[in-house]
Structure 1
Amino acid sequence: MTAEITKNPTGYTATFDRYFEHSPDRVWQLLTDNHKIHRWFSGLQMEEEGESGHLTLDMGHGKKKELPITEYKKGEVLAYEWGEDHVRFELSPDGQGTRVKMAETLPDITSETPKDVAGWHVALDIMEAILDGHGIERSSEWERWYPEYKRLFESMGVDFA
């Protein structure tokens, strides 16, 4: 199922609502432990955890982009800047597992937006696969979801021409 895309006064929000059959602690580790982060998002790294902390994204060729943490509640909420966008993960216990709500706030829609949102979709799929102990093919999954997101944004009147 695709993310829910909503228009708001400052742009758009892509919201993913997932359920992982694993404890909030195990899911939190995927978001904050670099050994685990690198398994689902190569190049993303927690540099300093906490309210005044930040992550970095390796842009290649020795360049890193700093991603300041904008909201932090250990084990529950991790939010950070993502270029012009903003990403927020919220974890809550749900039965034996964890409800994961991930939202990307998008001030502008560009031709890159469906690619980015499809990338987050696949990243969440990869997180679940890691927790479940099996593999997933990142590029084939992305190729499956990117056209879906492109159509979704186009159905909202966004023209990528």
Structure 2
Amino acid sequence: MIASIEKTEAGYTARFDRHYIFPVTEVWSWLTENDKLSQWFPELRVKDLREGGSLIFDMPSGTAITMEITDFTPHAVLEFTWGADLVRFELSPEQQGCHLVLIERLGKVTGHTAKDLAGWQVCLEVISSLMEGKSLESRDDEWKKWYEKYQLLLQAYLTAE
């Protein structure tokens, strides 16, 4: 399911909603434990898991970016800076597993936004596959498919800027 995009006073909000058959504790572990995190987002790692703590994004150039954790509630909320934007994961239990909401707060929509949203889309698919003991055949093919969809979705926002 494609993310919803909403114009806000501060910019834009992209929202992904997923329902998993796994409990909150299992899904949380995929977001916060480096051995699992590296399987779906190899460039990202937790350095200090707490509000005011940080995640590290390893760049292909060999440098690293520190991203501050701005909101944190164990097994419920993980929010961190993403450049000038914010990324927030929210987990809540459901009768048959858990509900995950991924929100990216964007100051503005740029030519790079569709790439990021397609990336998050694939990340969520990979997490689901890994929890089910499966793998995606080609992350690149999935990303390309979603990138085209997000480019189309964001065209109206790009022309409005």
Letter in 2 for 1:146: Y
What's the C-alpha RMSD, in Å, of the aligned pairs? 1.2
| 1:12 corresponding residue in structure 2 | 12
| 1:90 corresponding residue in structure 2 | 90
Shift of residue 56, structure 1, vs aligned partner: 0.4
| 2:153 corresponding residue in structure 1 | 152
TM-score normalised by length of structure 1: 0.96
Does the 8 Å contact 2:52/2:69 carry over to 1?
yes
Percent identical among aligned pairs is 38
Shift of residue 85, structure 1, vs aligned partner: 1.2
Residue 135 (str. 1) matches residue 135 (str. 2): yes
Shift of residue 62, structure 1, vs aligned partner: 2.5
1:43-83, CA deviations, whole angstroms, 9 ceiling, x for partnerless residues? Answer: 10000001121000001233100000000000000000001
| 1:23 corresponding residue in structure 2 | 23
Unaligned runs of 5+ in 1: none
Residue 111 (str. 1) matches residue 111 (str. 2): yes
CA distance in 1, matches of 2:47, 2:60: 17
CA distance in 2, matches of 1:123, 1:81: 17
TM-score normalised by length of structure 2: 0.96
Correspondence list, 1:10-89, <5 A: 10-89=10-89
The number of residues matched between the two structures is 159
Shift of residue 133, structure 1, vs aligned partner: 0.8
CA distance in 2, matches of 1:95, 1:103: 23
CA distance in 1, matches of 2:61, 2:145: 29
SS at match of 2:59: strand
Letter in 2 for 1:51: E
CA distance in 2, matches of 1:91, 1:30: 12
Unaligned runs of 5+ in 2: none
Letter in 1 for 2:49: E
1:92–1:159 Cα change, 3 Å: same
SS at match of 2:72: strand
Does the 8 Å contact 2:109/2:157 carry over to 1?
no
Runs of 4+ aligned structure 1 residues displaced above 6 Å come to none
